[in-house]
Amino acid sequence: MEEFDVTKAYRELQERVKQIPMELESPEEAIEESIKYYKSIPMYDWGAKQQSNEHDMTEKYGSEYVNELKQCEYEGPPIPKSLICDLHRIHEGKRPFKKKMYKRIADISNSRKIVKAKAENPEKKGDLQPKEYSNEHYSNVRAGLINMGRKNRVLQNPTTLLFYLLQHKPWKGKKDKHNTYEKWYLKEKLIVASVSIERMSADLGVHEKTVRNWLNSLHSSGIVRKVKVGMENIYVLGEIVGKEEVYYYTGEVSWN
């Protein structure tokens, strides 16, 4: 039996492959076929709230959004509300909230200039000047800070006591032992907090002696003024100037 020549058979196969007529597809035809294929894949347009297809969705929203939608559909997790919100905004002609995340081409030309400028003129820490903050802007300090102060030692300090006293400033209709609204606020034009040492100790979760030390510290620094009324103290936080409330802790007014 004649031995089979693998090399010869391979060369013959190559020659026969070359003789097979090849149908060359133009780029335009390839694009048309691709569009036709992706148009056949149904997708729901969450922005327009109607049925669509993958091609039209990609043209409208971009491949990043379409890929994330497909991932949610295939893997099962719910579609994020933020994604649906972005699709609505794009459908309405607005910029998406995720524009930074889905930015297609990063423009780094400007950032290179900034980095180069910083390298040439490095900013020294000693050159930084403190920013002067305006009292017209307020920080949102929640009252729950007082509850946390009982559990967290880091918050057990005179500053937390100041926030606590600010929670007890007078308001219209407030009734208390020292009549802080009618007498002190309206007549004396002072913003006063009236709370016993025992009450402050219980609310802040520290010893009464600690509360007294904190009050003395606030008083000596000019942030709070202690005023003796009979056998007890009240704590002046600020004053009424014209129709405006101004406070010692902000530096708007000083008592010492």
Take residue 70 and report the two structure tokens written for it.
Answer: 């497909």
Q: What pLDDT, on the 0 to 100 scale, is given for residue 200?
A: 94
Looking at the structure, tell me whether residues 96 and 180 fall in a common domain.
no
First to last CA, the chain: 120
Per-residue pLDDT of the chain (256 residues; tens, 9 = 90+): 556 677 777 788 888 877 776 665 667 777 888 888 888 889 889 888 899 998 898 898 888 888 888 888 777 678 888 888 888 888 888 888 755 444 444 454 555 555 555 555 655 666 788 888 887 777 888 889 999 999 899 999 999 999 999 999 998 888 888 999 999 999 999 999 999 999 999 999 999 999 999 999 999 999 999 999 988 899 999 999 988 899 999 888 888 8
Looking at the structure, tell me whether residues 162 and 96 fall in a common domain.
no
Take residue 95 and report the two structure tokens written for it.
Answer: 């910029």
Looking at the structure, tell me whether residues 100 and 162 fall in a common domain.
no
Domain-located, residue 256? no
Looking at the structure, tell me whether residues 229 and 161 fall in a common domain.
yes
Domain-located, residue 127? no
Domains identified in the chain, total number: 2
| Distance, CA of 7 to CA of 46 (rounded, Å) | 59
Q: What pLDDT, on the 0 to 100 scale, is given for residue 220?
A: 94
Domain-located, residue 32? yes
| Distance, CA of 238 to CA of 246 (rounded, Å) | 5
Domain-located, residue 8? no
Residue 172 belongs to what domain range? Answer: 144-247
Looking at the structure, tell me whether residues 235 and 153 fall in a common domain.
yes
Q: What pLDDT, on the 0 to 100 scale, is given for residue 130?
A: 86
Looking at the structure, tell me whether residues 75 and 157 fall in a common domain.
no
Looking at the structure, tell me whether residues 79 and 170 fall in a common domain.
no
Task: Residue 152: give its domain's CATH number.
Answer: 1.10.10.10
Looking at the structure, tell me whether residues 150 and 243 fall in a common domain.
yes
Domain-located, residue 6? no
Looking at the structure, tell me whether residues 92 and 161 fall in a common domain.
no
Q: What pLDDT, on the 0 to 100 scale, is given for residue 4?
A: 67
Domain-located, residue 193? yes
Angle, alpha carbons 37-38-41 (nearest 5°): 100
Looking at the structure, tell me whether residues 95 and 149 fall in a common domain.
no
Domain boundary among 55, 80, 104: 104
Looking at the structure, tell me whether residues 151 and 233 fall in a common domain.
yes
Query: Is 56:67 a contact under the CB 8 Å cutoff?
Result: no
Query: Is 223:216 a contact under the CB 8 Å cutoff?
Result: no
pTM over 0.85: no
Domain-located, residue 110? no
What 3 state SS string does the chain have?
A: CCCCCHHHHHHHHHHHHHHCCCCCCCHHHHHHHHHHHHHCCEEEECCCCEEEEHHHHHHHHCHHHHHHHHHHHHHCCCCCHHHHHHHHHHHCCCCCCCCCCCCCCCCCHHHHHHHHHHHHCCCCHHHCCCCCCCCCCCCCCCCHHHHHHCCCHHHCCHHHHHHHHHHCCCCCCCCCCCCHHHHHHHHCCEEEECCCHHHHHHHHCCCHHHHHHHHHHHHHCCCCEEEEECCEEEEEEEEEECCEEEECCCCCCCCC
Q: What pLDDT, on the 0 to 100 scale, is given for residue 103?
A: 44
User: Residue 112: is it exposed, middle or buried by C-beta count within 10 angstroms (0-12/13-18/19+)?
Assistant: exposed
Domain boundary among 53, 73, 104: 104
Residue 102's CB is within 10 A of a number of other CB atoms, namely 16
Domain-located, residue 75? yes
